[in-house]
Amino acid sequence: MRLLRVACNAALLALLTCAVIAEDFGYGGREGPAHWGESFKRCSGKHQSPINIDALQVVPRRFREFQIHGLERVPRDIKLTNNGHTVLVNMYYNDNMEPHMSNGPLRSDAVHVFEQFHFHWGINDSMGSEDTINNRAYPAELHVVIRSMEYTNFSQALGQDHGIAVFAFFFKITQADNPNYVEFTKKLQFIKRKGESVDLDTPISLGSFISTDVQHYYSYVGSLTTPPCSEAVVWVDFEKPIEISEFQLQFFRQLTASDEHLRNNFRPTQPLNNRTVFRNIPPEPPKPNESENAAGQIARLGIGGLLGLSLLTALELKGRFLVAFN
């Protein structure tokens, strides 16, 4: 009887293991994006991400100006984890101190709170980003995932209208290292295998990791770019890329030496299927009134400018005098 019980337990364990493997996903072969829909039905949906953004086809729209609070706050801890698909970054704050966002293309009555951020990259500089602009791919992309505070956790917000949003930032290669990524990229050598985690020795703010321009962006409604591919996700793709050196980007690419899942860990672009992509029109700078204009012009002219203006006025008067007596 005991042997039978052991055999049954072993069979159950094997069955569960097969089920987990069957629902795993990767970026190549039988586990690649072309087969995700076989295990994750939502990955075959009509409003999937990523997409190619054709700048000639976007619709200009002036969204309400983003209200983003807490980007400068430094968390207690920052943990980097190799989850087998990406470098997942969790930031741990004191109670109610997480960064939060509202306005922009987000629903007007909702406030979104920071959840996590992660990365996608390619094996060379010609590929790596998930969304593309005019069919151009960037070498890497950062996704800041935020959740509507109407829902108590990420799982509850999945699939809900404006429940989840993703702020996407592209990377571009520069010669100089990005100082905000120096320790971060060096720590990647300690998480080469799935399940490994490491903490940053010196936590920095979320704002240090992203682009400073949050006024110029594209937006559309899509999905998560990994299974379960839940839809109704609001995407915000910022135009200004984050700078990173080739040396720093290589630390991401070295993770593929231990896990093929991390080789080109980006999903190919999906059909737009009649969705609208918007491009935000930034607010116009305030116009000073006429008195401020006059004062501003005098201030800009300075003493030298005023003397020059006086000389021109004198010459003009002299010219009129000569005309009058000839």
Alpha helices in the chain (DSSP H): 2-22, 36-39, 154-157, 182-187, 246-253, 290-324
Report the candidate in 121, 132, 126 with the shortest Cα–Cα distance to residue 52. 132
Looking at the DSSP bridge assignments, the partners of residue 173 are 244
The answer to whether 171 and 241 are in contact (CB under 8 A) is yes
In b/e form, how buried is each residue of 150-180, taking b as 16+ CB within 10 angstroms?
ebeeeeebbbeebbbbbbbbbbebeeeebeb
Which DSSP symbol is given to 177? P
The answer to whether 235 and 219 are in contact (CB under 8 A) is yes
Structure tokens at 265: 């860990």
85 included as an active-site residue: yes
- Whose tokens are 């992309």? That residue is 141
Please state the separation of Cα 33 from the chain's center in Å: 21
- Greatest CA separation found in the chain? 130
Of residues 35, 47, 85, 143, which has the active-site annotation?
85
| DSSP-assigned states of every residue in 259-303 | -GGGTT--PPP---TT---EEE-PPPPPPP-HHHHHHHHHHHHHH
d(CA 146, CA 112): 6
d(CA 165, CA 239): 17
Residues with Cβ within 8 Å of residue 180, at least 6 apart in sequence = 204, 208, 209
Active site residues: 85
